[in-house]
Homo-oligomer: A and B are copies of this chain.
């Protein structure tokens, strides 16, 4: 047991279900006393939270791969924290941990909840806390298993990834390069595209904001697209479908262009390209691969250590900025993995 600095836990809760882009009115800011851990439990202080496109889906009252966040509940979020009080021999005060901490400053976790919130100690020798939310965290795991297990890349194949400067896209593109593929990113704006090519080593990057993605795909994928890792959906998915190579694989990881629609989702009107090209489109949810995360972390940490892989985080400060910080994702304003820093240490 240890004294903690604050006795007040600031929290962000879901107040209303949003229609379209979330607004500040959809959130409520609450406080409660910090609770000391029960026997065998721990108290974790939030350092950084992961802001992810999937969070928008959790705000809807719809059946999905995970239950929606209830009205009045603390918003779900993965994060990195520091153990500030422990009644469990496996965790010591000062340990850095990863867990679904929620958008709040402190989380008291009884032992019987360790598994539910995916609590584990992180090894700071393998990566920084930011990297543990990025390449070594859920985005990295998503990119790793989506690309390798669903995409099955072979050296020489052409891989296209949308959201290329985002968290998942960074990992996918760099990993595909390491596996010997030709890699073409799609991102918004020249700054992201330059970074993706010059810093991450992609073969090309298409600025979708410049228009005519279709012509750019033709230019940069002369033999067609063997693997498309889709984070965005919408028109770009249709453009890539029109450019598939025979036997192509599309990994459906997300569809950020559609999450704030107030009209129905835009279905891919070029889906019959799957037939013509004997191609497949397959969905994935990263949690299914949890028992293999350690293998992926070891491999990716190796690439980071060797300098073969880079990571970039876009860090926003302060719990109270959460509503606007989250919306950066949907406006395409984040450059790299979006992280909300709640406390410096």
Question: By the criterion CB–CB under 8 Å, are A285 and B281 in contact?
Answer: no
Question: By the criterion CB–CB under 8 Å, are B279 and A274 in contact?
Answer: no
CA of A64 to CA of B276 in the docked complex: distance in angstroms?
6
Interface residues contributed by chain A, number (CB under 8 Å): 33
Task: Tell which of B258, B266, B279, B288 touches A278, judged by Cβ atoms closer than 8 Å.
Answer: B288
CA of A277 to CA of B284 in the docked complex: distance in angstroms?
8
Shortest Cβ distance from A285 into B: residue: B278
Task: Tell which of B255, B276, B278, B280 touches A272, judged by Cβ atoms closer than 8 Å.
Answer: B255
Question: By the criterion CB–CB under 8 Å, are A274 and B282 in contact?
Answer: yes
Task: Tell which of B266, B278, B280, B284 touches A281, judged by Cβ atoms closer than 8 Å.
Answer: B280
Q: Is A111 an interface residue (CB 8 A)?
A: no
Q: Is A215 an interface residue (CB 8 A)?
A: no
Mark interface residues in A266-277 (1 if CB within 8 Å of B CB, else 0): 111111111111
Question: By the criterion CB–CB under 8 Å, are A279 and B282 in contact?
Answer: yes
Interface residues of A in 225-272 (CB under 8 A from B): 233, 238, 252-255, 258, 264-272
Q: Is A94 an interface residue (CB 8 A)?
A: no
Question: By the criterion CB–CB under 8 Å, are A278 and B268 in contact?
Answer: no
CA of A276 to CA of B64 in the docked complex: distance in angstroms?
6
Q: Is A302 an interface residue (CB 8 A)?
A: no
- Report chain B residues within 8 Å CB of A285: 275-276, 278
Mark interface residues in A20-57 (1 if CB within 8 Å of B CB, else 0): 00000000000000000000000000000000000000
Sample (6) of A-B pairs whose CB atoms are under 8 Å apart: A266-B269, A272-B283, A274-B283, A276-B283, A276-B285, A278-B288
Pairs A-B, 5 closest by C-beta atoms: A267-B267, A275-B283, A274-B283, A267-B269, A280-B282
Binding site for B on A (CB under 8 A): 63-65, 233, 238, 252-255, 258, 264-285, 288
